[in-house]
C-alpha cells in the first residue's frame, strides 16, 4: 500500500517555482482557492520512488515569513498549523542560482520551524553562463540540509529532487541560525512562559497576525498577550533578526559560492535600456500587441471555420437521425448550437493565452509593468495596478484577486473598481463574431481591419479603466501613500512545457466554466423559445397559413414563416418584446435584447444565446455566423447586424458590467455591496449612453 506525503513548494517570486511544480506534477494538477479566501491554490500529485505518492502544494511566492500581504499570510498560516490537512511533511525551498543570497533568508526561517527542508537550487544551466560555482558539499554541511541542483529547462536534477523528498525523514531539522540571540532575556522569558511550544513559532505569532493552529484559541490569546514590547521595538527586533540571518548567509556563501564576473555574459542591461525606454519601450509594446491580434485572426480562421461547420452539420445530423420529438429538438436546437457558440472560440482564446504566457515566461511582462508605472502614477494608481489590469485580459476575477498585493487601500479599491473595463477573454467571443459580421476583410499596411478593430477595443477598455481611475482618485477622499517596487527577472526562452500547461489549464477553465453556464442557459432558452402561451403560439400554423394563403409560398418558406411566428409569440419572444423599446434606440431587436440580458450570467453567453434562438425551428444546415448575417432589421430593412448596430454592440460590451461572478468577487474583496452596486449601475449606464450615441451617429 503506497503512502501519500504532503510536500510544500516555497520560494521567492521568479525563482522558477511554477516550473518545478510542473516538472513534478505534469498534468496531474488542479487550481482552486484556499478555503474561505480568494487566493489561488495550486496542487498536484507526483509519483516518487518506491511507490510513494506526494501531494504537492505550490504556495504563493514570498520573500520571507514576515508577511506584508494576504498571499504571504497563506504561507505562514499553513506552516504554523500542524492540524491543517495540507501541513507539509517536507518543504522544498526553490531558489534561483543567481539570487541565492536573497533566497536563503526564507530558507533559514523555515529551518527554524523544524520542518524537514530540501533546498532546490534552480536554473543550474545558467551557472557556466554567469560564471557561478557552488561547493555543494560545504553548503549542505553549513545549511544542514540536502541540496538538489536542478534545471527545469534542461530537465536535470528532478529525479534527485524526488529521491530527496522520498527520504525526507533523513533530513536534519536543526536550525541554521539561533534567532533568539537578538534579545536573549526576552526569548528566555518567552521560552519559560510557553515551554511546550516551538520558540520561533511563538515569535511569529507575536509579531504577525496569523492563525496559530497548533494550539487552542485561549493559548493564542495568551501568547498574543505576551506582547510586552511596543510595535516599534518588535519591528526593531525583526530587523535585527534579518541582519543576523544575512550575516550567516554571507559567511556561508563566502566559501560555498564563487562568481567569476569576467566570464559572466549578460545582455540584460542592453535589452532593458531598449525595452523600458521612455519612447521605444511603448512603441515596441504597441508593435507586439499588433502582432498578437493579427496572429489571433490569421492563425485561428481555419480551425474556427471547421468548428462552425462541424456543429452546424452535427445539429442537422441529429435532426435527421434521431426520432422526432422534444428531446431531439432540445439537442439539435438548444444544446448543440449553444455549445457550438463557445467551442468555436477555443482557437482564438487559446492563442491569446499562448501569447500572454510567452510574455510572462520570457520576463518581458515585468518590463511592461515597470514601463506602465510612469503612466499609472498620473492617474492615481501604482505600477502594481498594471498586473491586475493586464491579467484582466484573461479574466477579471483572478485579476481582482491579484489586487491583494497592493498595500494602499485607496489604490487597491480603485484598481478593483476599474479592472472590469479591461477586455477579458469572455468578451472575446462577442467581439469576434460581431467584428466578423460588420468589419470588412481588407488590410492596412499588412494588418487586417478586423485585427486593428480588436486591438482598438482592447485599448478602449484599458483607456476607460485608466480614465475611471483618474476620476475615482479625485472623488475618493482616502489618504494613502505607497512605493512601487517590482523585480526584473532575467530574460528566458519560454519553456514549452510551462506554456503548454498554462494554455491547456486556462483554456480548459474557460471552456468548462463557460460551458456549464451555457449548457444550463441553452436548455432554459430552448424551452422558453419552443413553448408559449395562448392561441397565437398554439395555432401558429393555422394563422400563418391563412395569412399567406394568397401568396402561394413554397412549403420550405411557409415552414420558416411558421417557425418565426412561433418564436415571436413564445415565452422568450414575449419577454424580448417587453424590453425591446429600451434597446431599439441602440439598433437592437428583441433577440439581441434577450442575449444581452442572459449574458449577465457570463458575457460569452451572448453568442450561445443567439445561436440557440436562431436555431429554434430552423431546418437549414447553416452556421451561427450565417444565421446572424441573414437577420433582417424588421423596421429599417437590410441586415440587422450592420456597421452602426455592430459598433454599438461592440461599445456596449466594452463598457458594460455583464458578469455577475465579477460583482460577487468585488463584494467579497471590498466586504460591501456598495461598490459592486456602483459598478453595475455606472458601467451599465455609461455603456448604454455610449452605444446609443454611436448608433444614432452611424445609422
Predicted confidence at residue 34, as pLDDT, reads 39
Cβ proximity of 484 and 383 under 8 Å: yes
Question: Which band of pLDDT confidence, cut at 50, 70 and 90, is reported for residue 247?
Answer: very high
Q: What is the helix (H) or strand (E) element at residue 30, kind and residue range?
A: strand 29-33
Close Cβ partners of 235 (under 8 Å, ≥ 6 residues apart): none
26-40, 63-77, 122-136: which is most confident:
122-136
pLDDT in tens, 563-574: 777 777 888 888
Whether the predicted pLDDT of 220 surpasses 70: no
Lowest mean pLDDT among 170-184, 218-232, 315-329, 465-479: 218-232
Average pLDDT over residues 438-464: 85
Gap between the Cα atoms of 343 and 337, Å rounded: 10
Gap between the Cα atoms of 644 and 697, Å rounded: 8
Q: Is 45 exposed, middle or buried (0-12, 13-18, 19+ CB in 10 A)?
A: middle
Cell digits of residue 154: 534542461
Average pLDDT over residues 250-262: 83
Whether the predicted pLDDT of 145 surpasses 90: yes
The dihedrals phi and psi of 41, each to the nearest 5 degrees, come to -125, 115
Predicted confidence at residue 206, as pLDDT, reads 80
Average pLDDT over residues 645-649: 91
Interior angle at CA 243, CA 237 and CA 249, nearest 5:
140
Whether the predicted pLDDT of 311 surpasses 80: yes
Q: Which residues in 625-664 are b (16+ Cβ under 10 Å) and which e? A: bebbeebeeeeeeebbbbebbbbbbbbbbbbbbbbeebbe
Predicted confidence at residue 37, as pLDDT, reads 41
Average pLDDT, the chain: 80
Q: What is the helix (H) or strand (E) element at residue 185, kind and residue range?
A: helix 184-193
Predicted confidence at residue 29, as pLDDT, reads 61
Residue with grid cell 517555482, as numbered in its chain: 17
Predicted confidence at residue 223, as pLDDT, reads 60
Closest CA to 346 of 310, 385, 382: 310
Q: Cα–chain-centroid distance for residue 217?
A: 36
Cell digits of residue 392: 484582466
Average pLDDT over residues 525-553: 79
Predicted confidence at residue 636, as pLDDT, reads 67
Average pLDDT over residues 677-686: 92
CATH class of 4-182+228-261: alpha beta
Q: What is the helix (H) or strand (E) element at residue 356, kind and residue range?
A: helix 346-362
Whether the predicted pLDDT of 118 surpasses 70: yes
Strands (E), 106-195: 117-122, 132-134, 146-149
Average pLDDT over residues 338-363: 78
Average pLDDT over residues 143-162: 90
Ranges of each domain in the chain: 4-182+228-261, 514-698
Predicted confidence at residue 635, as pLDDT, reads 66
- What are the C-alpha distances in Å from 529 to residues 329, 407, 517, 574, 583? 11, 50, 18, 10, 20
Close Cβ partners of 23 (under 8 Å, ≥ 6 residues apart): 152, 155, 158, 497
pLDDT in tens, 393-450: 767 776 776 676 676 778 888 889 998 898 877 787 788 888 888 888 888 777 788 8
Average pLDDT over residues 68-92: 83
Predicted confidence at residue 214, as pLDDT, reads 46
pLDDT in tens, 264-273: 456 677 888 8
Question: Which band of pLDDT confidence, cut at 50, 70 and 90, is reported for residue 69?
Answer: low
Average pLDDT over residues 512-541: 76
SS3 content of the chain, % helix, strand, coil (to 5): 65, 10, 25
Predicted confidence at residue 38, as pLDDT, reads 40
Question: Which band of pLDDT confidence, cut at 50, 70 and 90, is reported for residue 486?
Answer: low
Lowest mean pLDDT among 151-155, 648-652, 686-690: 151-155
Cβ proximity of 120 and 94 under 8 Å: yes
Gap between the Cα atoms of 658 and 663, Å rounded: 9
Predicted confidence at residue 31, as pLDDT, reads 53
Average pLDDT over residues 311-324: 84
pLDDT in tens, 503-520: 887 777 767 766 676 677
Predicted confidence at residue 460, as pLDDT, reads 92
Residue with grid cell 516550473, as numbered in its chain: 19
Whether the predicted pLDDT of 556 surpasses 80: no
Closest CA to 65 of 208, 248, 220: 208
Phi-psi region of 157 (alpha: psi -120 to 50; beta: other; left: phi over 0): left
pTM: 0.61
Predicted confidence at residue 316, as pLDDT, reads 82
Predicted confidence at residue 483, as pLDDT, reads 54
Output the DSSP codes for 587-600.
Answer: T--HHHHHHHHHTT
Cβ proximity of 42 and 31 under 8 Å: yes
Question: Which band of pLDDT confidence, cut at 50, 70 and 90, is reported for residue 213?
Answer: very low
Cell digits of residue 398: 483572478
Closest CA to 453 of 480, 423, 474, 482: 423
101-105, 550-554, 599-603: which is most confident:
101-105
Predicted confidence at residue 40, as pLDDT, reads 62
Amino acid at each position: 500500500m503506497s503512502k501519500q506525503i504532503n510536500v510544500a513548494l516555497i520560494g521567492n517570486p521568479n525563482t522558477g517555482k511554477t516550473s518545478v511544480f510542473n516538472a513534478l506534477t505534469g498534468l496531474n494538477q488542479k487550481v482552486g482557492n484556499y478555503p474561505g479566501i480568494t487566493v489561488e491554490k495550486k496542487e498536484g500529485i507526483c509519483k516518487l520512488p518506491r511507490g510513494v505518492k506526494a501531494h504537492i502544494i505550490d504556495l504563493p511566492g514570498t520573500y520571507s515569513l514576515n508577511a506584508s500581504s494576504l498571499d504571504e499570510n497563506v504561507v505562514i498560516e499553513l506552516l504554523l498549523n500542524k492540524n491543517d490537512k495540507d501541513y507539509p511533511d517536507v518543504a522544498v525551498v526553490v531558489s534561483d542560482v543567481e539570487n541565492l543570497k536573497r533566497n536563503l533568508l526564507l530558507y533559514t526561517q523555515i529551518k527554524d520551524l523544524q520542518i524537514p527542508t530540501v533546498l532546490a537550487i534552480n536554473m543550474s544551466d545558467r551557472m557556466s553562463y554567469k560564471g557561478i560555482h557552488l561547493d555543494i558539499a560545504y553548503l549542505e554541511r553549513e545549511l544542514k540540509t540536502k541540496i538538489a541542483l536542478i534545471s527545469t529547462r534542461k530537465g536535470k536534477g528532478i529525479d534527485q529532487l524526488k529521491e530527496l523528498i522520498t527520504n525526507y525523514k533523513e533530513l536534519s531539522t536543526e536550525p541554521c541560525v539561533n534567532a533568539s540571540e537578538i534579545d536573549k532575556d526576552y526569548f528566555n522569558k518567552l521560552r519559560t512562559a510557553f515551554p511546550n511550544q516551538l520558540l520561533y513559532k511563538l515569535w511569529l505569532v507575536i509579531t504577525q497576525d496569523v492563525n496559530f493552529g497548533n494550539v487552542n484559541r485561549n493559548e493564542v490569546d495568551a501568547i498574543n498577550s505576551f506582547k510586552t514590547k511596543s510595535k516599534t521595538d518588535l519591528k526593531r527586533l525583526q530587523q535585527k533578526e534579518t541582519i543576523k540571518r544575512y550575516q550567516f548567509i554571507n559567511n556561508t556563501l563566502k566559501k560555498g559560492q564563487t562568481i567569476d564576473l569576467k566570464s559572466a555574459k549578460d545582455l540584460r542591461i542592453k535589452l532593458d535600456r531598449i525595452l523600458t525606454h521612455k519612447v521605444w519601450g511603448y512603441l515596441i509594446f504597441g508593435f507586439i500587441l499588433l502582432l498578437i491580434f493579427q496572429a489571433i485572426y490569421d492563425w485561428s480562421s481555419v480551425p474556427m471555420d471547421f468548428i462552425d461547420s462541424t456543429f452546424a452539420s452535427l445539429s442537422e445530423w441529429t435532426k435527421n437521425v434521431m426520432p422526432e420529438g422534444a428531446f431531439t429538438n432540445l439537442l439539435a436546437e438548444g444544446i448543440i448550437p449553444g455549445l457550438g457558440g463557445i467551442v468555436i472560440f477555443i482557437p482564438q482564446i487559446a492563442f491569446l493565452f499562448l501569447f500572454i504566457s510567452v510574455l510572462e515566461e520570457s520576463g518581458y511582462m515585468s518590463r511592461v509593468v515597470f514601463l506602465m508605472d510612469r503612466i499609472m502614477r498620473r492617474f492615481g494608481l501604482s505600477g502594481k495596478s498594471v498586473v491586475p489590469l493586464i491579467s484582466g485580459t484573461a479574466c477579471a476575477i483572478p485579476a481582482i484577486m491579484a489586487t491583494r498585493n497592493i498595500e494602499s487601500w485607496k489604490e487597491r479599491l480603485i484598481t478593483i473598481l476599474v479592472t472590469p473595463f479591461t477586455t477579458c477573454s469572455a468578451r472575446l467571443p462577442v467581439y469576434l463574431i460581431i467584428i466578423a459580421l460588420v468589419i470588412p476583410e481588407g488590410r492596412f499596411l499588412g494588418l487586417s481591419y478586423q485585427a486593428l478593430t480588436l486591438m482598438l477595443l482592447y485599448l478602449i477598455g484599458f483607456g476607460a479603466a485608466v480614465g475611471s481611475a483618474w476620476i475615482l482618485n479625485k472623488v475618493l477622499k482616502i489618504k494613502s501613500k505607497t512605493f512601487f517596487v517590482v523585480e526584473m527577472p532575467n530574460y528566458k526562452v519560454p519553456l514549452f512545457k510551462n506554456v503548454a500547461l498554462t494554455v491547456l489549464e486556462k483554456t480548459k477553465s474557460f471552456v468548462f466554466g463557460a460551458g456549464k453556464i451555457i449548457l444550463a442557459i441553452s436548455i432554459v432558452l430552448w424551452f422558453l423559445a419552443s413553448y408559449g402561451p395562448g392561441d397565437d403560439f398554439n395555432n401558429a400554423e393555422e394563422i400563418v397559413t391563412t395569412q399567406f394563403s394568397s401568396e402561394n409560398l413554397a412549403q420550405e418558406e411557409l415552414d420558416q414563416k411558421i417557425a418565426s411566428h412561433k418564436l415571436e409569440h413564445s415565452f422568450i419572444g414575449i419577454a424580448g418584446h417587453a424590453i425591446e423599446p429600451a434597446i431599439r434606440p441602440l439598433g437592437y431587436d428583441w433577440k439581441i435584447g434577450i442575449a444581452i440580458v442572459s449574458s449577465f450570467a457570463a458575457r460569452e453567453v451572448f453568442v450561445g444565446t443567439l445561436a440557440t434562438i436562431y436555431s429554434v425551428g430552423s431546418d437549414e444546415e447553416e452556421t451561427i455566423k450565417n444565421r446572424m448575417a441573414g437577420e433582417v432589421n424588421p423596421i429599417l430593412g437590410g441586415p440587422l447586424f450592420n456597421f452602426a448596430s455592430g459598433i454599438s454592440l461592440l461599445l456596449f460590451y466594452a463598457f458594460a458590467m455583464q458578469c455577475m461572478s465579477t460583482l460577487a468577487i468585488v463584494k467579497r474583496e471590498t466586504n460591501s455591496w456598495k461598490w459592486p452596486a456602483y459598478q453595475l449601475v455606472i458601467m451599465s449606464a455609461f455603456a448604454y449612453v455610449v452605444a446609443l450615441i454611436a448608433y444614432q451617429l452611424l445609422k
